[in-house]
Chain A
């Protein structure tokens, strides 16, 4: 973790944190996009056998071809759901949490140091206001960007 010793280092760290925030927001959006097909495939995997079972109980029941097709689709849906979850969504989540945590730690350091550095480096009011506004775009803790 790099030291934030002066105004220049502070502004560099802030710019890095802003890039990280954009990255975290993009990761969050990607997670939401992946979640939709995963939920859809999970629903399909649960619904098809349910419908087949209800049809069988209700009488007559679907033909064996329909059952075979239905169960195959359900199995494929389940496989797609598991693949999406394990191969894409979980790694994305791990990356998201790690990036978010690192970003918040950096921003909390800047929140603590801001007044000290602004006074020591005699920042103009306009720069102080701009840095305050930029710091105000970050969340306090993890979770709010998910």
Chain B
């Protein structure tokens, strides 16, 4: 039986080939017609600040198009009872976007949705391979100063900065799930590797960073994914995703990152991600 990570890689690659114009192996076309089911599927969207959680939600509900204007920082918990549309398929979901910043709002959101008796059935954990946005000038200056103290301040250094934070954040989530303190009725977890249009030319590196099993030395993130596989019965997936076209400012003074994909390719990524999400939401059993 193929290993779960081989399947995950194969799914990742089929999406990549489809976006690059090749055949979409293993991708099921959205041919089912139907009404949304009666059950409401609780889903939590988690991830670091500035990673694009709210924009991902907007993309999934098709309330933004790929070329829409810039977003703003979400100040509070976002709760939505919504019907997610995946092609002709529709699914009811109660989606809570959990703030990424350590804050009273994040604590409340975690308490309401993940702790005690509350639990989502699924988590979409958003990461961006180090392409998080830093909203405040003062924080940008601090990051610049901290990086300068350790060496060169370039795009790679900024990416590493965010990836370390991303791992620390994911470790908290994984620990809480494994130790049974959070999300006790959780059935699945999808890692959305977002903003991948900014690093499409390095997608293999991102894949090997997030999916265990290929790199000679697994990344700290991949090790946490392995922990989830070994310690829980969750259905897991890792997929590339882009919510909308955008330029990325690593830090003031550094060159901007620009999208390497066009509208149609981003549309394809959104479709594939939506299909995966739909299949996870509607699953009734484990693997």
Q: Which residues of B contact A4 (CB under 8 A)?
A: 142
Nearest-Cβ distance from residue A142 to partner chain B, whole angstroms: 8
A1 CA to B139 CA in the complex, in Å? 11
Query: Which chain B residues in 79-118 approach chain A with CB under 8 Å?
Result: 99, 101-107
Asked if A69 CB lies within 8 Å of chain B CBs, one says no
Contact with A along B133-162 (1 / 0, CB 8 A): 011101100110110010000000000010
Q: Produce 1/0 per residue, A109-124, CB < 8 A to B.
A: 1011111101100000
Q: What string of 1s and 0s marks CB contacts (under 8 Å) between A134-145 and chain B? A: 011111110110
Among B75, B101, B143, B145: residue with most chain A CB under 10 A: B101
Of A112, A118, A138, most B-chain CB atoms within 10 Å: A112
B142 to chain A, nearest CB (A): 5
Interface of chain B: mostly helix, strand, loop or mixed: helix
A19 within 8 Å of B (CB atoms) = no
CB-CB < 8 A to B247: which residues of A? Answer: none
Collect the chain B residues with CB atoms within 8 Å of residue A144's CB: 76, 104-105
Query: Do A111 and B49 contact each other (CB < 8 Å), given the known contacts A136-B102, A139-B105?
Result: yes
Listed from nearest, the 8 A-B pairs whose CB atoms lie closest are A141-B75, A135-B102, A112-B139, A140-B103, A115-B165, A115-B168, A136-B102, A136-B107
CA distance A143 to B142 in the complex (A): 25
The docked-state distance in angstroms from the alpha carbon of A106 to that of B168 is: 21
Contacts of B99 in A (CB 8 A): 140
Could you list some 8 contacts between A and B, CB below 8 A? Answer: A3-B142, A112-B136, A112-B143, A116-B161, A137-B104, A140-B101, A141-B75, A143-B75
Instruction: Please tell me the number of chain A residues within 8 Å of chain B, measured between CB atoms.
Output: 25
Q: Is the CB of A136 within 8 A of B139?
A: no
Asked if B65 is at the interface (CB within 8 A of a chain A CB), the reply is no
Chain B residues lying within 8 Å of A132, measured Cβ to Cβ, are 102
How many residues on chain B are close to A (CB under 8 Å)? 26
CA of A87 to CA of B102, assembled, Å = 37
A105 sits at the interface (CB 8 A): yes
Contact A3 B145 (CB under 8 A): yes
Partner of B76, one of A119, A136, A140: A140
Is the pair B105, A109 in contact by a Cβ cutoff of 8 Å?
no
Q: How far is the CB of A31 from chain B (nearest CB, A)?
A: 19
Q: Mark B206-244, 1 if CB is under 8 A from A, else 0.
A: 000000000000000000000000000000000000000
Q: B174 to chain A: closest CB distance in Å?
A: 15
Docked Cα-Cα span, A119 to B135, in Å, equals: 23
Q: Which residues in window 69-97 of A have CB below 8 A to B?
A: none
Given known A-B contacts A108-B138, A136-B107, A143-B75, A119 and B164 have beta carbons under 8 A apart: yes
Which residues of A are found within 8 Å of B134, using beta-carbon distances? 112
Contact of B75 among A111, A112, A138, A140 (CB under 8 A): A140
Whole-angstrom distance between the alpha carbons of A81 and B159 in the complex?
55
> Other than the known A113-B139, A113-B143, A140-B104, what 18 A-B pairs have Cβ atoms closer than 8 Å?
A5-B149, A105-B138, A108-B101, A108-B138, A109-B138, A109-B139, A111-B139, A116-B161, A116-B164, A116-B165, A118-B168, A132-B102, A135-B102, A135-B103, A136-B104, A136-B106, A138-B102, A144-B104
Is A1 within 8 A of B164, CB to CB?
no
Flag if B105 contacts A140 (CB, 8 Å).
yes
A1-B103 Cα distance, complex, nearest whole Å: 22
- Whole-angstrom distance between the Cβ of A107 and the nearest chain B Cβ: 8
A109-B138, A109-B142, A112-B142 known; A138+B103 contact, CB < 8 A: yes
Q: Which residues of B contact A112 (CB under 8 A)?
A: 134, 136, 139, 142-143
Measured between alpha carbons, how far is A79 from B104 in the docked complex, in Å?
Answer: 40
